[in-house]
A and B are shown apart, each in its own frame.
Chain A
């Protein structure tokens, strides 16, 4: 009888090892597992960082640094085939309403470490997640950026009843389109009759 039990235990162990090493990508990746993976990111300047900067109301710039050991751990955990069939992505979230709503998903090449992303969402607050989309469509976050505000391009619709806009003051600014800016660059670039 004990021999039978031993055999069953042995088979169960083989099956367990098979599932965690040979085809790990098929298993369900729980939120806890994702968190645990992020927690493996050592807290140092070299590890798992993504930064987002606003270029203008339509475009953001992001740069990231995912150290090799994170990617190695990923491969060890999910398997080489999962890695080869997965897709690195940046997800853009609109945080304006408090809860993040995904507004864009951009495939990236992890061999690069930066890219511009067109967002065309002036006035929102956003953040980014850089992660891996597995063949089973689960998304493993490797790094998360801080939130940034994208500047507005329109006059605010919010009116303070104690300070209603005064027509005389706003007369020169009838539309957003006639607002320009001038700076020292204008002086350098636009000067007529330059040396050339």
Chain B
């Protein structure tokens, strides 16, 4: 008899990094790498499980910027060029490593892998959203979404209309692409503040997920800690709490599975190591970056990197899937002894962890889902399915929390990025004022106001503040924040002066083309 539930949740998101003005954008590669290493492998695994009639349940959140980019014809065309380049590079690697047996078989592995990815991409006619939709229709995959541009909502606490717009625009956009409104939402970075649940309730969202301490510090104290969801007392929206134990096993690079010595080393890529002349065709503007071809395993501490051995890594993925299940079984057995309902373990992860950061992640997930289909203790579920079985939930209000380092807002608000909030707040206030002033604008003015809102939303993406904190591509994050704010300012100035530069506006609409059906009146 099944004694408890496990809800695996993957959140797929990338910031909107579409750059039609450039031929070879480094940032568009973020998307291309995630398509190759994470999204298509996930689609292939889930399809195979369905074909083989293996029962599973999984929740996938697709953020609006990601949906927009996966559906964009320009990016689709560019991805095809990218994957074809990778196939060619892998072919060259087969030749180059002819006398290097340790690497030669790996070059073949990459060649086969890229060919399979390419084949799948063409099979879906470049449209991965249609692939996800098809999986969603199977009933085994619950697809939800996140805020419009992944704006970090706890720092919009004083701007109710803007926080609401982030959610409402996301839901409308999701419905345009998937044909239904999701029952749940992935709050960007698990960022919740008391009161946000009222916005969710207004928009008919039934559930969201918070980090562990969001539930543990809830009021009144939740009877089942994080092992049963709670319902927000006034709004009635349900909050599921993340399980820390299962999160650490997969998330933590130091203590978790991805740091195993036999797994592929993410940080060693031929893009940084082979001759630049040899690679130049495959690097954006001849700048060294990851190609996706990596020949080494993590290897032991204080030893030189050793060649990657796929068979060993596969065996480890199997062992780690078994270990994950063993740990969940013990957890569920212990909890179910005294609980008057089966416990639920909620395990959310970034989808890009599987494949991109942790190359063997999709393999691990495949093993895990296959084994859980036959498991006697654990039943896979989704939050939607769980709520259909259990409606008597404890009223308790979660505490403000996020899954960022430190658990609150400090990743998105610190000495590296606090300067942005003054500008974001002022811009939002100004835009709301303009929107209220224009109930019946001319078509041109309407377009300008819609684009101004688009620019505000893009400036609000949590990714920019996150990048400024982590210090990886800070200049780009600063540029994106300031560029969108300056576009917005220029648009409002032109509206004020009744001098809208329609050619410039058309270029901007073409460049930052997310949410084509956006209506600025949403913030009135």
Contact = CB atoms under 8 A, between A and B. Distances in A.
A173 B216 contact: yes
A156 B220 contact: yes
Contact of A169 (B212, B245, B298, B335): B335
Contacts of B350: 184
Interface residues on B, range: 35 or more
Nearest to A43: B433
B253 A195 contact: no
Contacts of B251: 182-183, 186-187
A162 B220 CA distance: 11
A25 B235 CA distance: 50
A15 to B, nearest CB: 45
Interface string B212-226: 110011111111111
Interface string B177-206: 000000000000100011100000000000
Contacts of A113: 422
B393 to A, nearest CB: 9
B154 A181 contact: no
Interface stretch (A33-41, A85-93, A99-107, A146-154): A146-154
Say what secondary structure dominates the interface of chain B.
loop
Residue from B212, B399, B466 whose CB has the most chain A CB atoms within 10 Å: B399
Which of B221, B251, B334, B430 lies at the interface centre, i.e. has the most chain A CB atoms within 10 A of its CB?
B221
A95 interface: no
A153 B217 contact: yes
B421 interface: yes
Interface in B260-279: 265-268, 272
Contact of B409 (A53, A152, A179, A187): A53
A156 B418 contact: no
Interface stretch (B26-34, B38-46, B336-344, B440-448): B336-344
Nearest to B254: A190
Contact of A182 (B154, B223, B252, B268): B252
A181 B338 contact: no
A192 B421 contact: no
Contacts of A172: 225, 245
B225 A173 contact: yes
Contacts of A61: 413, 418, 421
A55 B410 contact: yes
B339 A166 contact: yes
B355 interface: no
B429 A45 contact: yes
B337 A168 contact: yes
A156 B252 contact: no
Interface in A98-130: 113-114, 116
Interface residues of A, number: 61
Interface in B340-367: 343, 350, 353, 357
Interface in B431-476: 433, 466, 469-470, 472
Given A181-B212, A188-B472, A56 B410 contact: yes
Interface string B405-417: 1111111011000
14 contacts: A45-B429, A53-B413, A150-B400, A151-B399, A156-B221, A165-B221, A166-B224, A169-B223, A169-B335, A179-B407, A180-B244, A186-B253, A187-B258, A193-B267
The 4 closest A-B pairs by CB, nearest first: A151-B400, A195-B267, A191-B253, A163-B223
Interface of B: 154-155, 157-158, 189, 193-195, 211-213, 216-227, 244-245, 247-248, 251-254, 258-259, 265-268, 272, 298-299, 301, 305, 334-335, 337-339, 343, 350, 353, 357, 394-396, 399-401, 403-411, 413-414, 418-419, 421-422, 425-426, 429-430, 433, 466, 469-470, 472
Given A61-B418, A179-B212, A185-B404, 19 more contacts: A51-B158, A53-B155, A63-B418, A149-B400, A151-B399, A152-B219, A157-B221, A163-B394, A163-B396, A169-B224, A169-B227, A182-B403, A184-B353, A186-B251, A187-B253, A188-B470, A191-B254, A191-B266, A193-B265
